[in-house]
Structure 1
Amino acid sequence: MHMFQNLKLVVTTFLLTNVNADGITKDFIKKFNTYNEVCRGMGFKDGTCQASEKSIIAFHARTSKGLHNLASNAVVVFGRVTLNVGSAYDGTTGKFTAPRDGIYSFTWTGVTAAGSWFNTVIVHNNNLIAYNIADGNAGSRTMSSGSATAIIKMKKGDKVWIRPKGREARAGYADWCSFSGFQLF
């Protein structure tokens, strides 16, 4: 309810500051006649201004086992899916498919044991976008981890996935590597 009250204040402020000399608001009123229509236009449920479940795209997944000797072009499969609102992430293939056009945010974390490495990249339709390094070979006696985030403009049907970078990679532990994402707008 608090969010709905804030939206009322924003809309009222907008209307009051966008009145022309004749007291008629600009074409904002023509597009949205009631607060519920404003909410629907923003992807919210009627009356509450809460996001509707079908307007949300978000996922989080972790590796379900240790990954060893992955080839540089393999897809890293994060098979333990803990959240998949919108069903856009496939835990069997490791790929996210955009259900609609938009800007998406992705974050992934790689963890490896001492003496190993798990350098990865995020791939958008076969294009390398960003890199992540977890290098346990740098003289460390402990595990190494790395995290990265990428913001990607996608069209409906575009795919994003994580793959190893360079020589054969090893993620030492189940559940410690993760991949998540959501649609910003």
Structure 2
Amino acid sequence: MIPFGLAIAFVFSVGLYAKEYSISNLNPLSDVIDELKSLRQEVEENRKQILKQENELKTVKQELEEMKRHCQCGPNPDIEKSETGKNEVYSKTEKNINHIGGESRIKRIIPHTGQDGPVAFYAYMSTSMSNVGGHHTLLFDVIKTNAGNGFHSTSGVFMAPRSGFYVFTWTIRVYNTGQHSVELVVNGQGVGALYEHSGPGEDDMSSTTAVVYVNEGEDVFLRTKMDFNQGVIDTSVHGYSSFAGWKLN
């Protein structure tokens, strides 16, 4: 039989050992928890990067589809034949891109306005007008440009096909003591005017420009003012009385 004192000492020693063993095992467990947290953070960061790359890939796909719709150009078998074929295809593609929204030469002053193309017109008088009274709408019967089909030569009225800022410019030529004041009318309101006069035997012409916002469907035209109307509004191959305009945006 084990003595009572010895048994008590044994139990105390076992308890102390168990306590030290449990404490010593807490450190590895804490390390595992920290490592799991670190792994979770890495997983979350990777997930964010994947989502970001997916969004970028979607954007690139959309841009490619947009370029395909505008370019309307497909693969050319000549590309694989020679370097000359490659250059020809590249040249054709560049021309297609440059011509989106109108001719490349006029894009500098008539910006692209969307899928419907630019809006621009230019017309001039083919014959001179005499005995012009006040509030007389001027007619420009020779149309040279009418992108968007907004200008009507029979009435002299431009009807805006889309809303936006427009540039309008007009030139009036007078002869031999003639004088005329011509105003730009937008939706029934005068928004700009030009006055031109000439001395005896003289032939003069003047131009002016206005930039205004026009709503879709509103009328724009030129008319004489009630006063300062005398003589002929002249026009000829040496100098046309004309009316032009184009949409900025």
- TM (norm. structure 2) is 0.56
The aligned residue for residue 182 of structure 1 is 246
Match of 1:148 in 2: 208
Check conservation: 1:71, 1:167, Cα contact below 8 A: no
Q: How many residues align?
A: 159
Residues 181 and 229, structure 2, Cα contact 8 Å, conserved in 1: no
Q: Partner of 1:3 in structure 2? A: none
Instruction: Measure, in 2, the Cα distance between the counterparts of 1:119 and 1:45.
Output: 47
Structure number with higher strand proportion: 1
Match of 2:142 among 68, 80, 85: 80
Q: TM-score, normalised by structure 1?
A: 0.73
Aligned residue in 1 for 2:163: 101
Structure 2: segments with no counterpart, 5+ residues: 1-48, 74-95, 103-115
**1:132-177 deviation line (CA, Å, top 9, x unaligned):** 12211xx464211110111111111011101112243430234610
Q: Between the two structures, name the one with larger relative contact order (CA 8 Å, sep ≥ 6).
A: 1
Deviation for aligned residue 1:65 = 0.9
The percentage of aligned residue pairs carrying the same residue is 23
Tell me which amino acid in the other structure corresponds to 2:62: N
Greater helix fraction, Structure 1 or Structure 2: 2
Q: Does residue 1:51 correspond to 2:100, yes or no? A: yes
Distance 2:146 2:214 in 1: 18
| Structure 1 unaligned regions, length at least 5 | 1-21
2:78 aligned with 1:37: no
Structure 1 108/31 Cα, relative in aligned 2: closer, same or farther at 3 Å? farther
Q: How does 1:18-29 map to 2 (within 5 A)?
A: 24=52
Deviation for aligned residue 1:80:
0.9
Aligned pair partner of 1:114 in 173, 176, 191: 176
Cα distance in 2 for residues equivalent to 1:144 and 1:46? 49
